[in-house]
Structure 1
Amino acid sequence: MTRAGGRSGARPPRASGPGAASKAAGGRARAGGPAKSKPAAGAAGRGKRPGAAETSPPRRAAGVGRRQDERGTAGAGSVPPRGPAQPRAAAKAQTAETLASGVQTLAVGPDEAGMRLDRFLVARFPQLAFTHIQRIVRKGELRVDGGRVKPNDRLEAGQQVRVPPLKLASARPSSRTPAQDEGDAAFIKSLVLYEDRDIMVLNKPMGLAVQGGSGTRRHVDGMLEALRDKEGQKPRLVHRLDKDTAGCLVIAKTRLAAATLAKSFRSRAARKIYWALVAGVPRVKQGRVSTYVAKEEGEEGDSRMGVARHGDEGASHAVTYYALVENSAQKLAWLSLKPVTGRTHQLRVHAAHIGHPIVGDPKYFDIENWELPGGIQKKLHLLARRIVIPHPRTGTPVDVTAPLPPHMAQTWNLLGFDASRYDPIVDSPDE
């Protein structure tokens, strides 16, 4: 079922800064609730594939988009009694003993509740390579409450994590120099849109990876090493952005903040808005795209996500709202996107699914013989424009907006788009 709708007005989206220490770097931050919303008409576009997009009228209206995170639960099988939570100093001492003595069981502390298993291990064993940690989890050598787990499973306070023998040879001595630390710290600080004693929101540049991987040496997670506090705590990632997606990236500065923020993402209390430039113009100005997505093999043998059917292996439900903001000569369109769920490459897959892939997308742009207008760079035109999330300590909404990255600012200027224009996605409902 498809219904046309949508509107645009003259008022621009607002954003300001919380009462705590706030910094601006071309974007804006504020404390307070999101803008009032009105129901939007539902519709998905054209070019449907198996697991076609579903459109429906909204049930209720509120601010901006919600969650951008995956669910996960750690633990299975036989569950031993949970011991009392340990003080942090005792936990560190226990970790050191594990490295020296072989198999040990670690208790998850209250400030570690909600952490992904792999992140818990990184925090406890910072000298071990992340790839090594993921390998022992995949092989089933590491157990939580006696059961096998996945790297992205979430932990609960009091759970027992059985760690296999870890060879000291696997440890990675720090090769960082004071100059590197100073440079990385200065670079991260230059990206800050908002900061207080609990969290930072960074304006991640396009092309900078959030986490390390095969062949990726420079990434946000690695540079956060330069910002360890006096107790040795490193700021923590609580969600991710694709390497080529620019914009708002939330960082927790303490374990407690990380656990609280992770819960906000899982419960959809964190709301996001993305901006994208897409090929063509959707016939329906505002709509809801609802499909299942799963991993598939690309044409060149690479891994990618694709639209799937309910019941397919690995298929997860994905929902995105979109709104047309402006278009240029019916060839290009500025879309505002609000993900309800947070699947890998969700917005890129959904844009391609409705027949309007994101400009510069190397994986999902599937229109043959399509020529990019002169002056527009062939880079991914996707920005994590705005995030609204409850503060982990006070609960007050932190509302942060990121500016257009240079390549998108150039495109907006060439096409005559006004970045201060009212964003109609705020009229779409929350779920």
Structure 2
Amino acid sequence: MRFREDSVLFIDGEAIVIDKPAGLAVHPGARTRESLEDYLHHLRFGFHRLPQPVHRLDRDTSGCLLLARNPKAHKAFQHAFEEKRVEKAYVAVLDGVPEAESGTVDMALGKISTAAEGWRMVEDARGKHAVTHWRVVTVRDGRALVLFTPETGRTHQIRVHAASGIGVPIAGDPVYGRGKGPMLLHALSLKVDRGAKPPVEARAPLPPTFVQAGFGDAL
């Protein structure tokens, strides 16, 4: 895999935002044959240092991913995430239609692990605070396209909040849903405040899987 020129959504001296394809992990793991780290040298654009991811997207989630082009910028962007000076929006096709048109899921999350099923995130009052706002954009053929704007960035947050908070899992989710077909979750937009400097801001077009699902013109 090589990143096409149109995979870069934003670039300046501090930041690069790429449109990460679904199926590519951000970091390598024990069962990960390839990851974004294998392709960072394609994203130097004249810099000696390799850019480094500031946050993560699940392997099967596509869309906006922020990379820092130097250690000072990486630290500053991490502080922006910690201080909630980052605006993120995701879209997903749900495997059904929620009862309400919009809402907020305030559900703390914790991690469980079993030998039979591996690990997953679940509702846990003693876990990490997690809040996600959502609204239905459109409904087609018994499935809803939903816009998510999370306040926090916990592991699998949107996936668990859809399945356990809204009560309708994301289509194709192999852990919290039926796992049939590709997982239809996309990091649509990202905006990172940089104080006196213009913000880092990008929007990723819907991927082909959303088009194939009948939602390519929904936004």
Per the alignment, residue 24 of structure 2 pairs with: 208
SS in 2 for 1:223: helix
SS in structure 2 at match of 1:379: coil
Q: Which residue of 1 aligns with 2:199?
A: 397
User: Match for residue 95 of structure 2?
Assistant: 279
Q: Matches of 2:7 and 2:58 in 1, distance apart? A: 17
User: Per the alignment, do residues 366 and 299 of structure 1 end up closer, same or farther by CA in structure 2, a change over 3 Å counting?
Assistant: farther
1:154-233 superposed matches below 5 A: 187=3, 189-228=5-44, 232-233=48-49
Aligned to 1:171: none
Q: Write the distance in 1 (CA, Å) between the matches of 2:183 and 2:115.
A: 20
TM-score normalised to structure 2 length: 0.90
Contact kept? 2:10, 2:201, Cα under 8 Å: no
- The 2-side partners of 1:395 and 1:326 are apart by 36
- 1:335 maps to 146
- What CA distance in whole angstroms lies between the structure 2 residues aligned with 1:297 and 1:352? 18
Q: In the alignment, is residue 355 of structure 1 matched against residue 171 of structure 2? A: no
Is the radius of gyration larger for structure 1 or structure 2?
Answer: 1
Q: Distance in 2 between matches of 1:389 and 1:272?
A: 9
- How many residues are aligned here? 218
Whether the 8 Å contact between 1:211 and 1:222 is mirrored in structure 2 is no
- For 1:344 and 1:236, locate their aligned partners in 2 and report how far apart those are by CA, in whole Å: 19
Structure 1 unmatched runs, 5+:
1-182, 373-377, 421-431
Candidates 419, 423, 426, aligned match of 2:218: 419
Is 2:27–2:37's contact at 8 Å kept on the other side of the alignment? yes
Distance in 2 (CA, whole Å) between partners of 1:189 and 1:251 is: 16
Q: Percent identity?
A: 37
Counterpart CA distance in 1 for 2:74 and 2:4 is 18
What is residue 318 of structure 1 aligned with on the other side?
130
Over aligned residues, Cα RMSD in angstroms? 2.3
Aligned residue type for 1:308: D
Contact 1:221 1:237 in 2 (8 A): no
Q: CA deviation at 1:232?
A: 3.9
Distance 2:149 2:42 in 1: 33
Which residue matches 2:185? 382
- Structure 1 match to 2:208: 406
Structure of higher RCO (CA pairs closer than 8 Å, 6+ residues apart): 1
Q: How many angstroms does 1:408 deviate by? A: 1.1
CA contact 1:320–1:341 (8 Å) conserved in 2: yes
Q: Which has the higher strand share?
A: 2
Of 60, 64, 68 in structure 2, the residue corresponding to residue 244 of structure 1 is: 60
For 1:344, the aligned partner's letter is T
Question: Residue 228 of structure 1: CA displacement?
Answer: 5.0
Match of 1:266 in 2: 82
Q: Output the CA distance in 2 between the equivalents of 1:226 and 1:382.
A: 25
User: Deviation per CA, 1:364-415, whole angstroms, max 9, x where unpaired?
Assistant: 0169xxxx7xxxxx100000001111247x53223211011111122135xx
The CA deviation at 1:334 is: 0.6
Match of 2:117 in 1: 301
